[in-house]
Amino acid sequence: MKSIIITGASSGIGHATAEVFLEAGWRVGLIARRAEQLDALADRYESAVALPADVTDAAAMEAAFDAFGHIDVLFNNAGLFGPSATIDEIALEDWTQVMNVNIGGMFIAARLAFARMRAQKPQGGRIINNGSLSAYVPRPNSICYTTTKHAVTGLTKTLSLDGRPFGIACGQIDIGNAETDLLRALKKTNPGTVTMDVSNAARSVLHMAEMPAEANVQFMTVMATTMPYIGRG
């Protein structure tokens, strides 16, 4: 049975992706802070393993990875949007929080996965980072989130390069306007926002994860068809 760890698995894209992998017969490690939501999912699926942890807590994350065991894939998904404002209105503590989760948390998870994939037999595995269309084109008033998502692209490229000698592939999925609680909140300030069902994003992650070891989806963009990304001003 193939195995994957998903961070941010208690809601949104992470939760939807966990369900898709579980239905496909994978063993799924569920990482998020909210244990109750993870336990509810684990109660429904025998192959789901609840691993409550804060992605910014290196010791808790290491314990979660150790408890899970062999890992074929990491979906490095946990993140938060942060305040919507211009840079002069952003509190430094809010900036730091977004950096710690979106970059620090991704670094911690990738570091743990890379080490285990390098050491395990057979050697190798796959890391899939959740980027965003904001890794290329920002929304207005999103300096914290956009900065982190540009950084995720650098993380993806470097992991892809450094993983080659060890059979570790790394790719990035850039998702645009999947219908989640986060998007529903953003739609309140922009009622014309178009979205797509989150299952489209989840199935795309499964496609990337199921590629043979000889192939890698380096970057994938999946988005609501009519959202203003191409040609965004």
pLDDT the model gives residue 228:
85
pLDDT the model gives residue 212:
97
**In terms of DSSP H, where are the helices of the chain?**
12-23, 35-44, 58-68, 92-99, 106-119, 143-163, 181-189, 198-209
Q: What is the DSSP letter of 121?
A: S
Beta carbons within 8 Å of 33's beta carbon, 6+ residues apart: 10, 52, 53, 54
pLDDT the model gives residue 187:
75
> pLDDT, tens digit, for every residue of 108-131?
999 999 999 999 999 999 999 999
Angle, helices 198-209 vs 12-23, to 10°: value is 50
C-alpha–C-alpha distance, residues 101 and 65, integer Å: 18
| Active site annotation includes 229 | no
Domain 3-223's class?
Answer: alpha beta
Q: Which of 45, 136, 145, 229 is catalytic?
A: 145
Q: Which residue numbers in the chain have pLDDT < 70?
A: 232-233
pLDDT the model gives residue 227:
87
C-alpha–C-alpha distance, residues 77 and 7, integer Å: 5
pLDDT the model gives residue 232:
57
